[in-house]
C-alpha cells in the first residue's frame, strides 16, 4: 500500500529560482537563505520519496480569470515549466504520477471534495522553486510530482479548515492506493508578505514564528485561523499559508519536527520552511 | 451587501469577487502581455492596443500612467498587473517600492532591516 511518510513546507519566492538558475546562491544576500536548505537536500535524498504531492498556487500563469478552480489536481503525464514573461525556467520537465493522481481525484471526490481535474497545465514558480530548493539542479527531478493547485488569487481562498480536511482526505486516498509507494506532501507559499498597495513590504516575524509553532503542535488551532487574521497580521499574500494546512492535514496529529528555517528577507517575503515526519 | 471585514485594513485592497468582476477586462489585457507578439504591439502603440480591450477610460489612463495603486482600486490584481511592470523590465520589489511611495533604495533598506513593521499598519492603530 502507498503511504504518506513526511510533509515539507516552504516559501516559493520567485527570486530564489532566479538565484539558483544564475548560480548566485553563494552571494551574501542569498547564502543564509540557501544554507537553511542544506539539511533538507540531504534529508530528501535519504528519504527517496517515490511521489511528491506538491500543493502550490498558480500566479496568473496557467489560469487567467477565464477559469479559477479552487482546488485543481494535475493528472497528466508531464507538466512544462511556465513562461512567466521571462521565458521558461531551465529546469527539468515535471513528470506526473497519473495513476495515483486519478485515484486521488476519484477518492477525494467520493469524500465530498469536488476537485477540478487538469490534464494540461504549465507550472510556474509556485511549483518549480520548491523543487529547486529541495533537489538542487539535477538533470531530471528524482521523483514523480502531483501538482495540486489552490486558488489564493481571487478572494476568498478555501478556508484553512477546508484545506486541512482536504489533506486528511488525500491521506485516505493515498493509503487506499494499491502500490507500495512512499509519498510526501509539500505545502508551499508564505510566510508574511504583502506585494500590493501602500502596505507593500509588510513582515510580521512574531506572527510567523507563532504560526510555525501552531502548525506543528496545534494543527487544529492553526487550521481555524480566519482569513482576516492572515491578511491583517501578516499581509495580503500571507494567505498562501492555507496551502501548508493541506500538507499538515495529511500527517498524523503528532509529528516530529526534524527541521525548521526562517529568514527575512527573501525579496519581499519572510521565508519559512519546515520538515515534519509522522511521529 | 454584507460589511467586508477586510475593508478597514490600511493600504490593502482585497481582490474579491466585486473587484474581480470590475477588473475582468483589465486583468485579461494584462494576461495578453504574456505573449511576446502582444508585448511588441503594446509597446509600439499603447493606445491602439488598449483600445482593443473592453476596459474603462479610467483603467486605460491608469495603465498609461503605470499607476499601480489606482489600477488595484479599479479591479486590477497584482499578479496580473505584474505582466505590465515585467514588460517594462521592473521587478516585483521595484513595483512594491513605487506602490508604497518609497524609492527603491529606501524600500530595499527597509526589507533588509526586517521589512515594514506590522504594528503601525494594523486596524487597531487607526
Domain ranges of chain A: 3-273
What does the pLDDT look like over A19-41, one tens digit per residue?
999 999 999 999 999 999 999 99
**B108 & B50 share domain:** no
B19: in domain: yes
- Are residues B74 and B51 both part of a single domain? yes
- Between CA A120 and CA A126 the distance in angstroms is 17
In this prediction the ipTM stands at 0.94
Residue tagged 471534495 (cell numbers): A113
pLDDT in tens, A136-189: 999 999 999 999 999 999 999 999 999 999 999 999 999 999 999 999 999 999
May I ask the CATH architecture of the domain A3-273?
3-Layer(aba) Sandwich (3.40)
- Residues B63, B76: Cα–Cα separation, whole Å: 10
A-facing residues of B in 43-82 (CB < 8 A) are 68-69, 72, 77-80, 82
- Mean pLDDT estimate for chain B: 92
Query: Do residues B95 and B71 both lie within one domain?
Result: no
pLDDT digits (tens, 9 = 90+) for B2-13: 578 898 899 999
Is B99's CB within 8 Å of A198's CB? yes
CA pair distance A57, A1, nearest whole angstrom: 29
pLDDT for residue A52 is more than 90: yes
pLDDT for B65 beyond 80:
yes
What is the mean predicted confidence (pLDDT) over B31-39? 93
A9 closest CA partner among A224, A258, A175, A279: A258
Distance of CA B124 to the CA centre of its chain: 26
pLDDT digits (tens, 9 = 90+) for A237-278: 999 999 999 999 999 999 999 999 999 999 999 999 999 999
CA distance A140 to A128: 13
**Interface contact flag, B100 A231, Cβ < 8 Å:** no
Residues B81 and B58 in one domain: yes
Structure-block grid coordinates of residue B69: 495603486
Q: What is the dihedral of CA A19, A21, A24, A25, to 10 degrees?
A: 70
Q: Are residues B24 and B57 in the same domain?
A: yes
Q: Is the pLDDT of residue A60 over 90?
A: yes
Residue B126 has pLDDT above 90, yes or no: no
Residues B36 and B50 in one domain: yes
Nearest CA of chain B to the CA of A148: how many Å?
19
Give the CATH number, domain containing residue B30.
1.10.700.10
What cell was used for A2? 502507498
Asked if B48 and B105 sit in the same domain, the reply is no
Does the beta-carbon distance from B72 to A192 stay under 8 Å?
no
Q: Are residues B35 and B73 in the same domain?
A: yes
Flag whether B5 is in a domain: no
Report yes or no: A225 at the B interface, CB cutoff 8 Å: no
Strands A3-10 and A269-278: antiparallel
Residues comprising chain B, all counted: 126
Structural domain of B110: 91-126
Does residue B115 sit within a domain? yes
pLDDT higher than 60, residue A13: yes
In a shared domain, residues B20 and B82: yes
pLDDT at A33: 98
Give the pLDDT mean for B103-122: 87
Q: Mark whether B81 and B110 lie in a shared domain.
A: no
pLDDT confidence tier of residue B120, bands split at 50, 70 and 90: low
Name every chain B residue with its beta carbon within 8 A of the beta carbon of A157. Answer: none
Interface with B, mutate which of A65, A88, A156 (most B CBs under 10 A): A65
Mutate to test the interface with B, among A198, A205, A210, A235 (most CBs of B within 10 A): A198
0.90 exceeded by the pTM? yes
Q: Confirm whether B7 is domain-assigned.
A: no
What DSSP character marks residue A82? P
- Measure the CA–CA gap between B93 and B90, rounded to whole angstroms: 8
B54 and B116 belong to one structural domain? no
Tell me the C-alpha distance between B91 and B119, whole Å.
26
* Averaged pLDDT of chain A: 97
Res. A87 pLDDT band, cuts 50 70 90? confident
Residues on chain B touching A200 (C-beta within 8 angstroms): 11, 96-97, 99-100, 107, 116
Q: Is the peptide bond before A191 cis (omega within 30 degrees of 0)?
A: yes
Task: Let me know whether B106 and B60 are in one domain.
Answer: no
Considering its fold, how many domains does chain B have in total? Answer: 2
Catalytic positions of A, please?
A: 125, 193
For residue B123, the model assigns a pLDDT of: 44
Amino acid at each position: 500500500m502507498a503511504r504518506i511518510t513526511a510533509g515539507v513546507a516552504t516559501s516559493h519566492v520567485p527570486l530564489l529560482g532566479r538565484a539558483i538558475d544564475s548560480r548566485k546562491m553563494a552571494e551574501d544576500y542569498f547564502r543564509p537563505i540557501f544554507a537553511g536548505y542544506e539539511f533538507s537536500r540531504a534529508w530528501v535524498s535519504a528519504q527517496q520519496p517515490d511521489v511528491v504531492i506538491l500543493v502550490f498556487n498558480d500566479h496568473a500563469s496557467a489560469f487567467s480569470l477565464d477559469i479559477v478552480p479552487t482546488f485543481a489536481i494535475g493528472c497528466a503525464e508531464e507538466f512544462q515549466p511556465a513562461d512567466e514573461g521571462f521565458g521558461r525556467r531551465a529546469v527539468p520537465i515535471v513528470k506526473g504520477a497519473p495513476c495515483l493522481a486519478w485515484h486521488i481525484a476519484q477518492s477525494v471526490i467520493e469524500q465530498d471534495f469536488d476537485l477540478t481535474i487538469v490534464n494540461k497545465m504549465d507550472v510556474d514558480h509556485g511549483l518549480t522553486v520548491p523543487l529547486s530548493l529541495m533537489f538542487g539542479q539535477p538533470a531530471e527531478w528524482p521523483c514523480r510530482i502531483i501538482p495540486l493547485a489552490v486558488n489564493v488569487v481571487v478572494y476568498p481562498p478555501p478556508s484553512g479548515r477546508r484545506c486541512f480536511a482536504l489533506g486528511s482526505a488525500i491521506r485516505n486516498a493515498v493509503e487506499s492506493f494499491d502500490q507500495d509507494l512512499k509519498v510526501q506532501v509539500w505545502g508551499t507559499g508564505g510566510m508574511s508578505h504583502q506585494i500590493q498597495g501602500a502596505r507593500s513590504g509588510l513582515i510580521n516575524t512574531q506572527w510567523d514564528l507563532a504560526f510555525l509553532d501552531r502548525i506543528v503542535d496545534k494543527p487544529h488551532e492553526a487550521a481555524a485561523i480566519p482569513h482576516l487574521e492572515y491578511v491583517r497580521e501578516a499581509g495580503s499574500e500571507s494567505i498562501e499559508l492555507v496551502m501548508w494546512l493541506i500538507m499538515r492535514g495529511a500527517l498524523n496529529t503528532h509529528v516530529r519536527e526534524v527541521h525548521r528555517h526562517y529568514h527575512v528577507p527573501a525579496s519581499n517575503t519572510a521565508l519559512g520552511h519546515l520538515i515534519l515526519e509522522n511521529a | 451587501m454584507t460589511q467586508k471585514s477586510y475593508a478597514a485594513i490600511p493600504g490593502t485592497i482585497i481582490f474579491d469577487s466585486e473587484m474581480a468582476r470590475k477588473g475582468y477586462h483589465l486583468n485579461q489585457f494584462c494576461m495578453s502581455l504574456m505573449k511576446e507578439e502582444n508585448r511588441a504591439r503594446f509597446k509600439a502603440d499603447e493606445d491602439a492596443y488598449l483600445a482593443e480591450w473592453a476596459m474603462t477610460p479610467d483603467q486605460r489612463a491608469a495603465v498609461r500612467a503605470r499607476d499601480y495603486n489606482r489600477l488595484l482600486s479599479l479591479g486590477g490584481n497584482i499578479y496580473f498587473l505584474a505582466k505590465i511592470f515585467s514588460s517594462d523590465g521592473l521587478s516585483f520589489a521595484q513595483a512594491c517600492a513605487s506602490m508604497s511611495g518609497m524609492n527603491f533604495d529606501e524600500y530595499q533598506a527597509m526589507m533588509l532591516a526586517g521589512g515594514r513593521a506590522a504594528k503601525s499598519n494594523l486596524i487597531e492603530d487607526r
